[in-house]
Structure 1
Amino acid sequence: MSSDHTEDSSLPTALHENATNEDIDALVKIVKTQSLVDDVIDGVYMGLLTISLLFILFVTAIGPQLGDLFPILQPVFLLFSHIVPFFKNIPSYVSSAPECFTTLISNLPTTLVEYQSLYYSFAQAFRTYLTILPYKQLILLFSWGAYLWDAYLDVRQRDMLHGVIRPSPIRSIVTRKAFLEANSYGLDKSSLKMVQSLLEQIKTTLVLYYDILPAFWNLVGEFMQSRLGFGPEHEITHSILFFIATSLVNSITSIPFDLYGTFVVEQKHGFNKQTVGLYIADFFKTLALTASFGSLILAGLLYTITKTGENFYLYVMIFMMVIQLIGITIFPTLIQPLFNKFTPLEDGELKTSIENLAARLEFPLKKLYVVDGSKRSGHSNAYMYGFFKNKRIVLYDTLLKQTSIEEVCAILAHELGHWKMNHVIKMLFISQIQIFVIFYLFSLVIVQKKLYTDFGFTSMPIFVGFMLYQYLYQPVDSVVTYYFNKLSRKHEFEADAFSNSLGYHEQLKQGLIKIHLENKGNLNPDSLYSAYHYSHPPLVERLNALDRPATPYHSKSD
């Protein structure tokens, strides 16, 4: 019997779980079992390997005639025929590199006028290039590239989830039963995600390839004209109706996956608390909010673009910043109360401890709420909101059940660390730069008629152009997402260190462990998957960082 069957005596008492060998063996069997999704993955790997070997064989045996025999492979063959000579010529490239570099340096602009001339020449060449791009092929390529990248990361993560032996860094943190339960939960979520992602990608491909978007756009236009009496000159109204119609279609097609995720996966692992009636009510509330608020934002965005000329991206950045600030304000005060009940935290030791913590940090706390998250899920959370001197803290009732008073304070000290170090403001500022880049690049694409005609459009609606542009932006978005998550993880480490400096070292560690275990979070994520997808560092990294020496925090009054 593996030594990993034995529960570690080093585990904190609160984290010990009674589990028989039969329980462990049953969980091991579940985690190690290869599902249909795994069989498909293995089949795809074998298929790709076989195709690659056959291709190499054909190239070797038939050579230049391959493109003539299989016209569909002509682009691939041309690519391959250029790759081989490139690698053969690498030595000559290396030997000539110093001379080329010297020539490049000597030809660089030396004055501001020359730099401006170079910029305008490049910009003009780039705009000319945009007029001849094969947009449909490019968008389909980027769409599948993004999907395959995500699928590759999912497969790497799935391989880790099939592990049944705890890595040594986490053996002192969790029992083997908790580790296996977390992996079982992760595998079920992974299976659902991979199936849904594949079907969504197929749907997207069919919609784009067979020009379903212009057909749907025209259908909405006919409805608008026949029922509302508005002609094609009312583009904003047309776009809003199109947005509502596509949102409705997407919401309906996602229902089977939402139902399975909620009432099968979450139910199986003890998280779901929703009833069917509550699910239906939430569905229609979400749809109504999407249609109403989404339509208002879309109308404002389109109006801003149409009224501010070719430099609209500057005004759109301001508009989106205002929308973000309004969203931060109204979401917890107007929108979330439609789904959850907020009650003031009762007087007692917990309230007193939180108020003392806020006073120590000079945090302008006005209200303390408990939200009934348990009526939908067993997952826990805590957050704060509000501007200036009007701050509020919200605790999920599940968090209060899972952790002690000191651990709740340690977790809130982490959240207050975000406030103290202005992390929200910093991320908000960086997001404005991102919005500027997105809409500046969009300003170059929006005027390209070929973008629309390649997909069967006879007009150039701005909203449709932005929908198509998002596929072109996907490669940039992938890089931006990685760095946003990297910055977010840095902020999480800093907030942990802040809580640590307040003297909550052990309490924060125990609180993080409990929350992670109660939520069955991934305890051994793939490094590349977590780097790309996780906005929070893996648990082990956070615990290791907390063990570093911390400088005690001193308030101004100390």
Structure 2
Amino acid sequence: MSDSETPKQKSQRVASVSEKASPPRSPKFGDDPDSAIDAQATLVMQKGLLDDIIDGIHLGLITIVIICFFFVAIFAGSLPTIFPAIKPIYDFVFEIPKLVMSLPEYALLIKEEFPTTLEDAMFLASGLSYWFAELLHTLPYKECILALSWATYIWDTHLDIRQRDRLHEVRRPLAISSFISRQAYLEANAYGLDQSSLTIIKKFVEQLETTAIIYYDMIPTLWAAVGTAMETYLGFGAEYEITQSVLFFLVATIISSLLSMPFTLYSTFVVEKKHGFNKQTIGLFISDTLKSFALGAAFGGPLIAAFLWIVAKTGSQFYIYAWALMAAAQVLFILIYPTIIQPLFNKFDPLPEGELRTEIEKLASRLNFPLKKLYVVDGSKRSGHSNAYVTGFFNSKKIVVFDTLIEQCTTEEIVAIIGHELGHWKKNHLFRMLLAAQVHIFTIFFAFGLFIGEEAMYTSFGMDTMPTMIGFIFFQYLYEPLASILQFVLNLLSRLHEFDADAFSKKLGYGEPLASGLIKIHVENKSNFNPDPLYSAYHYSHPPLVERLNAIRDPNVAPKTE
């Protein structure tokens, strides 16, 4: 360097050397138009600390299951001595092989003594009923509830992790690659990952809460506290079980809402806002929360009181009347929801005169649909998500279109979507789902009837009384795995209905508009375009977009990836 070099010359020389020494800028992070998309793809593909923790927990759970298997195989006979707390489960589990081994003997006996008359059949049923009742007497209820709760949680978490792995993928299915931009696909995956993170953390916290509630007998403790407060401040004793149950329900609802509030707030004001969906203010959120609680108390309280009164008055046949009560309540709710409840949260205006209204009315007339009112609802007041639906009974039907859907889709696409909704009506899907729900509810009440008088279920939690409300809560914990299976069946039925409604709209001549409308809705809602098959089969009430498009365009084409 020359001694006479000026500061300006020095600066130019350093800049020149730096430029020559710097490697060429990667197009992945350069200034080209795709750089932001590539950066987002990198973020979607990257696994952070939460993913490492989740993977570790997943591997840990698998390892624990394997270790437990070998431990049980080696030390089976000594387990009650090593771990006295598991003795009830041990005794119950090791009764199962004895029962299985005796099945051939029972089968032979049934074959030899197969009932040929109604009297013999009733005698056999009575014997089986007695055997089942004796089995229920020996159940270690508290331990079973804990085991079933954790088994369900592990299964759900396994599915969540499978889904999360899919969300880290950046390849689009070829079936939608010509319609879904890479940016839209990555944005949907980023939204899904944020939702997944919150869901996994929330479920973990809730599982810890559930475990603590069961293990430390918090439900009986709260029941006793409500009873003490009721007697102290209202002068009502233990004989007012229905009153105590309703108060217990209100207090438990408040506690549950407070525990879940941080997750609700984070979901609404962080995740949804980050991805451009949330339009709510804090004031509107508080207003909605208070309205929801008031409605829950107004409808839930009397419904619980009526249910408990039926149980007390009708004895062992209560499940028939309880089911009738719930069926009537569901029908009433369907009737009043669009006219009384939903207007408390949203504003419904008649759809303005114009092309869209004319086309929808033409379609309704073409199908002899008894359209009485056609509304547009201000869904954008709270969220950017879009929807449309049909509601009402008999000859008083209403069609409701979200204002967000009108902004996102063309008239023909909206009419195609309405055609899909009218397909549900034409094919009686709503009635079928309502009927399936009634079967589900009847199953719940019938099964509860088998447990309601089991003293062991209450004493396992340290209770010396048998309040129906508490028994029903304990039963719900036991019923949870079966409820998940039944919900899977209901989801399967719902997905079949969606395919059927799509085919109906296509038959009306709206195949392509329906396809393009579905694509726009999924893009705007940032829905998952490539879900894990097992996760979607278990959780989704609607088929994934790729499957619906394949069914609309060519049902024999399987989805591929690029």
* Aligned 8 A contact 2:89 2:140 in 1: no
Contact 2:194/2:271 (CA < 8 Å) preserved in 1? yes
2:509 is paired with a residue whose SS is coil
Contact 2:160 2:535 in 1 (8 A): yes
Specify the alignment match of 2:361 in structure 1.
Answer: 355
Match in the other structure for 1:477: 483
1:100 to 1:119, Cα distance in 2 relative to 1, 3 A = closer
- In the other structure, the counterpart of 2:149 is 143
1:228-307 maps to which residues of 2 (within 5 A)?
228-307=234-313
Contact 2:506/2:552 (8 A) holds in 1 = yes
RMSD (Å) for aligned C-alpha atoms: 2.9
In the alignment, the residues of structure 1 paired with residue 104 and residue 269 of structure 2 have an alpha-carbon distance, to the nearest angstrom, of 64
Which runs of 5 or more residues in structure 2 are unaligned?
1-26, 556-562
Deviation at 1:277, TM superposition (A): 0.9
Task: Using the aligned pairs only, state the percent identity.
Answer: 52
Q: Residues of 1 paired with 2:46 and 2:434: CA distance?
A: 44
Deviation at 1:73, TM superposition (A): 10
- What is the aligned residue count? 522
How far 1:441 sits from its partner (Å)? 1.1
1:434 is aligned to: 440
Q: In 1, Cα distance between the equivalents of 2:233 and 2:119?
A: 57
Q: Structure 1: which amino acid aligns with 2:398?
A: R
Within 5 Å, which residues of 2 pair with 1:497-516?
Answer: 497-516=503-522
Rounded Cα–Cα distance in structure 2 between residues aligned with 1:475 and 1:191: 24
Verify: 1:183 aligned to 2:189, yes or no: yes
Shift of 1:72: 6.7
Q: Structure 1 residues 421 and 58, CA, compared in 2 at 3 Å: closer, same or farther? A: closer
Distance 1:31 1:448, change over 3 A: same
2:414 is equivalent to residue 401 of structure 1: no
Counterpart-to-counterpart distance in 2, 1:537 and 1:57: 40
Aligned position for 1:27: 40
Residues 179-232 of structure 1: CA deviation (Å, up to 9, x unaligned): 111111001001101111111111111011111111111111111112112111
CA distance in 2, matches of 1:310, 1:69: 40
Residues 3-33 of structure 1: per-residue CA shift (max 9 Å, x gap): xx99xxxxxxxxxxxx932122111122112
Matching of residues 67-466 of structure 1 within 5 Å = 67=79, 70-71=82-83, 108-466=114-472
Compared CA separation, residues 447 and 74, structure 1 to 2 (3 A): closer
Deviates more, 1:285-294 or 1:518-527: 285-294
The farther-off stretch of 340-349 and 105-114 is: 105-114
TM-aligned CA distance change 1:548 to 1:240, over 3 Å: same
**Deviation beyond 6 Å, 4+ runs, structure 1:** 52-60, 62-66, 72-79, 97-104
- Going from structure 1 to structure 2, the CA distance change for 1:63 and 1:139 (only over 3 Å counts) comes to closer
Q: CA deviation at 1:380?
A: 0.4
Compute the displacement of 1:112 (Å).
3.5
The match for 1:539 among 545, 555, 561 is: 545
The 3-state SS of whatever aligns with 1:367 is strand
The AA in structure 2 aligned to 1:162 is H
Shift of 1:100: 11
Give TM-score scaled by structure 1 length: 0.87
The residue aligned with 1:15 is: none
- The residue matched to 1:308 in structure 2 has which SS? helix
- Is 1:37 equivalent to 2:43 in the alignment? no
Counterpart contact for 1:58–1:66, Cα < 8 Å: no
**In the aligned structure 2, how far is the partner of 1:135 from the partner of 1:70?**
21
Tell me the TM-score normalized by structure 2.
0.87
Q: For 1:227-268, what per-residue CA distance to the aligned partner results, in whole angstroms no more than 9, with x for missing partners?
A: 112111111111010000000011111111011001110011
| Equivalent in the alignment of 1:13 | none
Check conservation: 1:66, 1:77, Cα contact below 8 A.
no
Q: Deviations over 1:491-545 (max 9, x none)?
A: 1111111101100011100011100111010100111111110000111111111
The letter for the 2-side match of 1:41 is I
Tell me if structure 2 keeps the 8 A contact 1:214–1:455.
Answer: yes
Matching residue's letter, 2:437: S
SS in 2 for 1:504: helix
Name stretches of at least 5 consecutive residues in structure 1 with no aligned partner: 7-18, 87-92, 550-558
The change in CA–CA distance for 1:170 and 1:101 in structure 2 (over 3 A counts) is farther
**Alpha-carbon separation, structure 1, partners of 2:500 and 2:141:** 43
Partner of 2:7: none
Q: CA deviation at 1:172?
A: 2.6
Aligned in 2, Cα 1:302/1:129: closer, same or farther, shift over 3 Å? same
Post-superposition offset of 1:300: 1.4
In structure 2, what is the Cα distance between the partners aligned to 1:146 and 1:58? 22
SS at match of 1:459: coil
Taking the aligned partners of 2:60 and 2:545, their CA distance within structure 1 comes to: 37
Please list the CA deviations of residues 373-429 of structure 1 after superposition, one character each: whole Å capped at 9, or x if unmatched: 101100001111111111111111001001011111100011111111111111111
Q: Could you say if the C-alpha distance between residues 21 and 132 of structure 1 is closer, same or farther in structure 2, counting changes exceeding 3 Å?
A: same
Residue 560 of structure 2 corresponds to which residue in structure 1?
none
Conserved? CA contact 2:88–2:143, under 8 Å? no
Kindly provide the CA deviation profile for residues 24-77 of structure 1, in whole angstroms up to 9, marking residues without a partner as x: 2111122112133211122124434655676688789x8789759954798799
Secondary structure class of the residue paired with 1:233:
coil
| AA in 1 matched with 2:536 | S
Secondary structure at the residue paired with 1:473?
helix
2:463 is paired with a residue of what secondary structure?
Answer: coil
Q: Contact (CA 8 Å) 2:189, 2:528: kept in 1 or not?
A: yes
Distance 1:63 1:143 in 2: 25
Cα deviation, 1:297-339, whole Å, max 9, x if unaligned, reads 1111111221112101111111111100000011111111111
AA at the equivalent of 2:41: V
Answer yes or no: is the 8 Å Cα contact 2:88–2:140 preserved in 1. Answer: no
Structure 1 range deviating more: 453-462 or 43-52: 43-52
Q: Within 2, Cα distance between the matches of 1:440 and 1:64?
A: 36
Distance in 1 (alpha carbons) for counterparts of 2:286 and 2:86: 51
Match of 1:554 in 2: none
SS at match of 2:453: coil
Show the 5 A alignment for 1:42-81. Answer: 42-48=55-61, 51=64, 67=79, 70-71=82-83
Rate the CA distance shift 1:55–1:464 in 2: closer, same or farther, 3 A. Answer: closer
Structure 1 residues 352-377: Cα deviation after superposition (integer angstroms, max 9, x where no partner): 11111100000110111111010110
Query: What is the CA–CA distance in structure 2 between the aligned matches of 1:526 and 1:39, rounded to whole Å?
Result: 20
- Which moves more between the two structures, 513-522 or 117-126? 117-126
Amino acid at match of 2:119: V
Larger Cα-atom Rg: 2
